[in-house]
Structure 1
């Protein structure tokens, strides 16, 4: 069953309301014109609740909802490790990375690398991130979002991607990060409410006597293998989630890269009022992260019983959405659209920030006015959307579990990214060539490794390659003269102390994770 006129009416009200809020928060004060700090960092005015909500809204994209629900269908609850381990990663990033980044007053991650290593590293990584964001991330969000729209409305994949791209551009191109962050507050409320609603409906359908709790118990009883958090070697999905290696190996590298050194995510924290607000924002996001598997993965597992004959796992969530009654279906569909357009808006804002501040301003237009730079960012956002629109089908059209495919792709680069940041932030002796060697060796080793060890799960490969990248970067650095004293991070001059409230919250999150893994070991 698709959408009715009432469902479309709910979606229309949501779309108009979102655009109205975006235009309202983006308005300029009389006599003031947006500068680069306003457009790319929200004028450094974001409070903790906006940062936390925006982090989750940016993260819960179609990749998360459609892709992770599809992996829940195929794998089970074990895929939720990406979400639950991300919560503790956010705590680590808030405590150890944010103080360094905010002390350097940067706009982008490449700017930090320039201040630490030099311009060659900045330009290399700027180009790398632009290609990764456009070719991998933006195409994935558009493709999986279009999958849901196509399933529920019958709109072709291309036209669905076109509509989603146009909607995200309409509310984000003018206002920049501020429009994205403050509308994300609405988005995340709708996302969590709609997500819990579809979970409740699916579990209620499963219960012989009705009720979500009874349905959940029935689901665990019927599909006990889908609730194994640590997969055994004989599980066909072990190659993607290698047992205890999930807790001890490459997933840490992937999560730290995504939450700590990813412009698409960390840009919200860079736009905080101060360090304390940024850290509280990441803690808020960590608590929200604990909820995500219950609204994303559980519907995918439920689809094994409710829709066992779907053609691809990534169709699981759209099929569960069809179970909702008229009107409610429109509300949940609006939540799904919220996830998609929020992530698209966040991604194109990050692309425009790197392109404008790291490439155009220093290399092409060093004397450009603030107005010209802001307009350059808007053009870059639009071009990125158009490129992703035409790249999505050839890259992802034949993929089965898109979420796992994306993890495998990014696993080629993340070891080097984490290695260069760890060396640059915490080892004064690291040099420019050492940093570049760590990044380049990540790609080379990740490409060669499957040929030497074809049976090693990609996540284990990520962990081993990371250690090798750090070793290579350190070895090359020791063969050179040390970097200038002004470039190294002075850790003694940075206050890593956190408040009592922060520490208590960190302990609570840790205990919650221990309880989850103890329950579904």
Structure 2
């Protein structure tokens, strides 16, 4: 594939714009650590919402969706669609709590909610565990996608892609800080969406593809179209739908889909002007992320089955790609090579935009953990604002270097996705309950974190997997590994909770006084405080969680209905599409009524 002058103008013009933003905001971003990592807590909902969408539109996402569709059909996407429930719970229950906490990172929450050495250890350990280990793995997965795109579309060696893609991103991220990330995300979002939609329209109408109707009627595609898994296939139903909706969404920690909010989603909520803007940002993000954005990728994945029906056909077309990088996820990049001049430049710029948005966010977020939750806590408690900004910039560069080396060793995005889900299995329930149940303590989280990680490693690297989950000889069916980790982890952390001492009265009362979580889970703490004439309840408002759950369920119905309706309009199944469109209108009306009845909402 050859880029023409117009393509280069589009791509380098985009690079120049992003670098200009980073340089322009660098002076203000470097004033202090709050500006560098949270932009002074002054961001509006619409800008933060667009930033969340742009961040989760990474170069590995189209590859992952393509892999899922080609391997398991459209219904294979329920592995990540299920996290909409987590997202809606964050919108209507947790967004205002995070903003009210006024912490600088979500890890600072640990020393707000817990006390003593265990809380201090938890905060510092997770700063490295999440900010470095998990963060580097996630960025390596994104960079792996860039390597595959560079290899297939431009014939670049992996190291060339890593250096060229990473260098401009790390310079921009280190200079501009969070403000640079969010401001550039505004442009990255529109560039990425334009590229995805334009590519889908053009590729579906290629002569060798034959148009949308030809795609839908193709023998390689017919059995991949269903949005829901085949209910007669018990294994597919359990794996693709039941496990994600019944267990995965609330039990697993995953970057961008943390139960109760966390990570870079929490960072954006903490950067919002106020609680209402935090709620508005996360709601807007969930609509765009789940309801509308996946379909251009899905259409390209389906069209790829017409042109490249299997991995062998991809390898035949691109013999220079090494076997360790071969997989169904390469089909997306393979299809991009068929784009014409101009549109090719837009798509290449959109893929660069997707890469830069995700990596810059991960770098800034991970660096904030290193600075606030490890460096200032463990190494230099008296660090000045200038020192913290400098450490933030240095750690940004180091994180990029580590992820680049790891990316060269990885093979496919699907494996990384499943590994991260396994590592976080069983921990999600703690993140949901810790705001509303006083008895959870630091040891609950410590034991959950270690047990889920150890179990995930054991199942991947030892005969334990074969003994428990081998299809013919194992005790459990193969799909049961995630529920198994979740169940064992939950038993372990619940046991640890009740055999260890609860948090002190001072810690619990201080947390309640600041957050005002309410509910029966804090009744014991409130009653004891009242008996001792200690006032910790500052409001007489009705507990908002029941209304929040109603709003969450209405929002889930609304967004899934939009997603389904969009798919059926594309498929030409107009009766189902019309019915679902009516459901969209009704659920939107119900959500609006519930929302209006809630206190302190956007």
- Superposition TM-score, scaled by structure 2 size: 0.77
Shift of 1:307: 2.8
Corresponding residue for residue 167 of structure 1: 168
Question: 5+ unaligned residues in a row in structure 1: which ranges?
Answer: none
Shift of 1:161: 0.8
Shift of 1:230: 4.0
Corresponding residue for residue 397 of structure 2: 382
Distance across 2 between alignment mates of 1:51 and 1:263: 14
- Distance change (3 Å), C-alpha of 1:79 and 1:3: farther
Matched, 1:51 2:48: yes
Q: Tell me which of 484, 490, 493 is aligned to 2:504.
A: 484
Corresponding residue for residue 445 of structure 1: 455
Corresponding residue for residue 270 of structure 1: 270
Shift of 1:21: 2.8
Corresponding residue for residue 472 of structure 1: 492
What are the Cα deviations for residues 281-311 of structure 1, in whole angstroms up to 9, with x where unaligned? 1111111111222122221221111233113
- Distance change (3 Å), C-alpha of 1:472 and 1:208: closer
Distance across 2 between alignment mates of 1:318 and 1:208: 16
Distance across 2 between alignment mates of 1:33 and 1:9: 31
Q: CA RMSD in A?
A: 3.1
Corresponding residue for residue 39 of structure 2: 42
Contact kept? 2:82, 2:244, Cα under 8 Å:
no
Matched, 1:462 2:482: yes
Contact kept? 1:22, 1:171, Cα under 8 Å:
yes
Matched, 1:333 2:334: no
Corresponding residue for residue 107 of structure 1: 104
- Give matches, 1:88-107, under 5 Å: 88-107=85-104
Matched, 1:351 2:366: yes
Q: Tell me which of 403, 408, 413 is aligned to 2:418.
A: 408
- Distance change (3 Å), C-alpha of 1:334 and 1:208: closer
Contact kept? 1:19, 1:171, Cα under 8 Å:
yes
- Distance change (3 Å), C-alpha of 1:247 and 1:434: closer
Q: Tell me which of 324, 333, 339 is aligned to 2:339.
A: 324
Q: Which stretch of the first structure deviates more once superposed, 187-196 or 451-460?
A: 451-460
Corresponding residue for residue 17 of structure 1: 17
- Superposition TM-score, scaled by structure 1 size: 0.89
Contact kept? 2:7, 2:345, Cα under 8 Å:
yes
Shift of 1:460: 4.2
Contact kept? 1:44, 1:272, Cα under 8 Å:
yes
Contact kept? 1:138, 1:347, Cα under 8 Å:
yes
Matched, 1:6 2:6: yes
Q: Tell me which of 32, 38, 58 is aligned to 1:61.
A: 58
SS in 2 for 1:96: helix
Corresponding residue for residue 228 of structure 1: 226
Count, aligned residues: 510
Q: Tell me which of 377, 398, 405 is aligned to 1:362.
A: 377
Contact kept? 2:177, 2:364, Cα under 8 Å:
yes
Shift of 1:463: 3.5
What are the Cα deviations for residues 160-193 of structure 1, in whole angstroms up to 9, with x where unaligned? 1111111111222111111101110111111111
Corresponding residue for residue 508 of structure 1: 558
Distance across 1 between alignment mates of 2:245 and 2:447: 28
- Distance change (3 Å), C-alpha of 1:2 and 1:152: farther
- Distance change (3 Å), C-alpha of 1:482 and 1:298: same
- Distance change (3 Å), C-alpha of 1:150 and 1:60: same
Contact kept? 1:207, 1:218, Cα under 8 Å:
no
Matched, 1:179 2:180: yes
Matched, 1:314 2:318: no
Kindly indicate whether structure 1 or structure 2 has the higher relative contact order, using CA contacts under 8 Å at least 6 residues apart: 1
Distance across 2 between alignment mates of 1:240 and 1:381: 41
Q: Which stretch of the first structure deviates more once superposed, 65-74 or 193-202?
A: 65-74
Shift of 1:416: 4.3
Contact kept? 1:283, 1:502, Cα under 8 Å:
no
Contact kept? 1:424, 1:435, Cα under 8 Å:
no
Shift of 1:462: 2.5
SS in 2 for 1:428: coil
Shift of 1:5: 2.7
- Give matches, 1:100-179, under 5 Å: 100-117=97-114, 118-179=119-180
Contact kept? 2:22, 2:180, Cα under 8 Å:
yes
Contact kept? 2:209, 2:306, Cα under 8 Å:
no
Distance across 2 between alignment mates of 1:379 and 1:5: 36
SS in 2 for 1:109: coil
Corresponding residue for residue 198 of structure 1: 199
Shift of 1:264: 3.1
Matched, 1:81 2:69: no
Q: Tell me which of 440, 445, 448 is aligned to 1:435.
A: 445
Distance across 2 between alignment mates of 1:37 and 1:445: 37
Matched, 1:72 2:69: yes
- Distance change (3 Å), C-alpha of 1:89 and 1:428: same
Shift of 1:70: 3.0
